[in-house]
Amino acid sequence: MDYLPIFADLKQRPVLVVGGGEVAARKIDLLLRAGAEVRVVAQALSGEVESLHQQSDVLWLSQSYQPEQLDDVFLVIAATDDTELNARVYEDANQRRVLANVVDDQPKCSFIFPSIVDRSPIVVAISSSGQAPVLARMLREKLETLLPASLGKMAEIAGSWRERVKQRFNSMSARRRFWEQAFDGRFASLTAGGQFDEAEQALKQLMDEPDEATHQGMVTLVGAGPGDVGLLTLRGLQVMQQADVVLYDFLVSDEVLDLVRRDAEKICVGKRAGNHLVMQEETNRLLVDLAKQGKKVVRLKGGDPFIFGRGGEELEVVAAAGIPFQVVPGITAAAGATAYAGIPLTHRERAQSVMFITGQIRTDGNGLQWSELARGQQTLAIYMGAMKASDISHHLIAHGRAAETPVAVIGRGTRADQQVLTGTLQNLEQLAQQAPSPALLVIGEVVELHHKLAWFGHHPETAGAQRPTVVNLA
């Protein structure tokens, strides 16, 4: 190893920073987060460093560097544009056996700053020994996506329980098994969901009844987004990577399913219009039975599970069975598909409100306030409406919506083969018949902006993807 990786305790220890510009400010921020007593030597201070000085967070020692300023410091950082001054700081520090870092000059560093993933008190440091800092940064970014923000709180709670666990389990191997079960079980899941009191109860139960506690599972309801795998939330990805079993529906794209943990069991409980392969009652029963087997169950739903996704119904059953649960929201189809189609849901000149409704309406139209839905200057985003497009068009026109109102039918929104078909309300049924499933109906003046704002399929990031089809039946 070129460098020994260590973590230094800088609390209340004096550290000297030579330089007061933007680069120095970044180093000062790290030092203050570690609790260091920061002293600055610089001819002038940047706005950020000046603000810290005014707040007495740092001490502006002087405008000129003197070797004696190193006599009682723990380490020193040289961050000036003067290479000769930086070299002199490094040599003076070496003579005094003070650790030194000259920014962007690796040969003149007796210590270096790694790329950091901060989940305090959990901290991950990545270093290339100064050889490839951009590569180290890219690795850090990957780790940021894999390590949940809750790790720090989990470690904090665990630290408060260490003595109790030591008293409960005499052998080191027993304590290790306890913490392995805790960090891979309900304690971890509850902490990730912000349920800290419940998480501590799970620790207590695991300590008092380890065999019983390991047989308790939980359910996490996850929104998979409208299709594009890039729209899956970071939290959703982390939960999917921890699942023992995943129940998914047809709206979840294959690309999203590919991100599920490889050894997790995957069960399709999908439904399509007129073809419920798995009845809702059976899905509810599976959620409860699998969780009671001690499994971490993920219920993966397209879009957002609380917007026409029956997520609330399923969680009512889970809650009634006394099973702990969490919800990870997703990007709903109306938000994702319209954004990818270049159709803003609201616009100051064209739509002052937006309504999300389901197209699963009765043929007589009863059950919906058509007079409210038919108002102008508002956007209607209609889920599952393709099969009822004729009825929807008829009722809206009958209640005053102009037949020439712009409409769009977005098929397979956000996916590489997305299709955007535009026209007017009077030919909504024809458009819906041409659109691939799943399809979202959008009705309102904002649809006119599609021809100005359409971007998906024409953007460099989507080069090579199948170009979305656009049909105009105006």
Q: What is the pLDDT of residues 52-75, one digit of tens each?
A: 999 999 999 999 999 999 999 999
Q: Which residue type is seen at 80? A: T
More confident: 183 or 367: 183
Looking at the chain, which residues constitute the CATH 3.30.950.10 domain(s)?
334-473
- Of the candidates 271, 292, 391, 417, the residue annotated as catalytic is 271
* Neighbour-count burial for 54-83, b at 16+ CB within 10 Å, e otherwise: eeeebebbeeebeeebbeebbbbbbbbeee
| Burial class, 189, CB count within 10 angstroms (exposed 0-12 / middle 13-18 / buried 19+) | buried
Give the global pTM: 0.73
Rounded to an integer, the average pLDDT of 341-369 is: 86
- Of the candidates 92, 249, 301, 388, the residue annotated as catalytic is 249
Is the predicted pLDDT of residue 363 greater than 70, yes or no?
no
Sorted by sequence, the CB contacts under 8 Å of residue 115 that are 6+ apart come out as 125, 126, 127, 133, 136, 137, 139, 140
Strand-by-strand arrangement of the 378-383 sheet: 353-358, 378-383, 439-443, 406-411, 419-424, 469-473
Residue 317: closest CA among 267, 282, 293, 358: 282
Contact 154, 188 (CB under 8 A): yes
Q: How many residues does the chain have?
A: 474
Peptide bond into 67 cis (omega under 30): no
Looking at the chain, which residues constitute the CATH 3.40.50.720 domain(s)?
14-113
Q: What is the mean pLDDT of the chain?
A: 91
Q: Which residue type is seen at 283? A: T
Looking at the chain, which residues constitute the CATH 3.40.1010.10 domain(s)?
218-331
CA 174 to chain centre: 35
Residue 245: closest CA among 198, 280, 283: 283
Looking at the chain, which residues constitute the CATH 1.10.8 domain(s)?
151-213
Fold assignment, 14-113: Rossmann fold (3.40.50)
Q: What percent of the chain has pLDDT over 70?
A: 93
pLDDT 10s digits, 239-268: 998 899 999 999 999 999 999 999 999 999
More confident: 148 or 23: 23
Place of tokens 């996506």: 145
| Burial class, 441, CB count within 10 angstroms (exposed 0-12 / middle 13-18 / buried 19+) | buried
Is the predicted pLDDT of residue 374 greater than 90, yes or no?
yes
Rounded to an integer, the average pLDDT of 210-226 is: 81
More confident: 367 or 396: 396
Place of tokens 């290790």: 176
CATH architecture of 334-473: 2-Layer Sandwich (3.30)
Q: Cα separation of 135 and 163, whole Å? A: 40
Q: Cα separation of 156 and 371, whole Å? A: 56
Superfamily classification of domain 218-331: Tetrapyrrole methylase, N-terminal domain (3.40.1010.10)
CA angle 82–87–91, rounded 5-degree value:
150
pLDDT 10s digits, 290-331: 999 989 999 999 999 999 989 999 999 999 999 989 999 999
Active site residue 249: yes
Q: What is the pLDDT of residue 465?
A: 40
Considering 209-218, 278-287, 364-373, the range whose residues carry the highest mean pLDDT is 278-287
Q: What is the pLDDT of residue 464?
A: 36
Active site residue 289: no
Enumerate the H helices of 245-323 as residue ranges.
254-257, 280-292, 311-320
Q: Cα separation of 320 and 202, whole Å? A: 19
Fold assignment, 151-213: Helicase, Ruva Protein; domain 3 (1.10.8)
